Amino acid sequence: MSSSNGTGQVHVAWEPIGNAERRNVSLTWQETGGPPVTVPKRKGFGSLLIESSGDSCVDFRPDGVRCLLSF
């Protein structure tokens, strides 16, 4: 793992959710230890892709971006 300041980390975790009739995956992306985060002024391809992938939440916290996806 690397970051723009050489010290940050990205933690990715996933787990199956749902039942036998409908299985989904919950994915969490959490950045830590990188440079301070600010909310972007525009949405790029990645943001649009995340928004179109089902239930999602992106939180631009000053200490690192946290993204929750369910698909």
Q: What is the pLDDT of residue 15?
A: 95
Condensed to tens digits (0 to 9), the pLDDT of residues 13-40 reads 999 998 878 888 999 999 999 989 999 9
Residue of 35, 18, 2 lying closest to 71 (CA atoms): 18
Q: What is the mean pLDDT of the chain?
A: 87
Q: What is the pLDDT of residue 20?
A: 79
Residue 32 within a domain: yes
Q: Which residues of 8-25 are buried (b: 16+ CB within 10 A; e: fewer)?
A: eeeeeeeeeeeeeeeeee
Domain total in the chain:
1
Residue 47 within a domain: yes
Q: What is the pLDDT of residue 1?
A: 45
**Does the structure show a pLDDT above 50 at 3?**
no
Residue 3 within a domain: no
Q: What is the pLDDT of residue 4?
A: 58
Kindly indicate the confidence band of residue 51, based on its pLDDT and cuts at 50, 70 and 90. Answer: confident
Residue 17 within a domain: yes
Domain that holds residue 49: 9-70
Residue 20 within a domain: yes
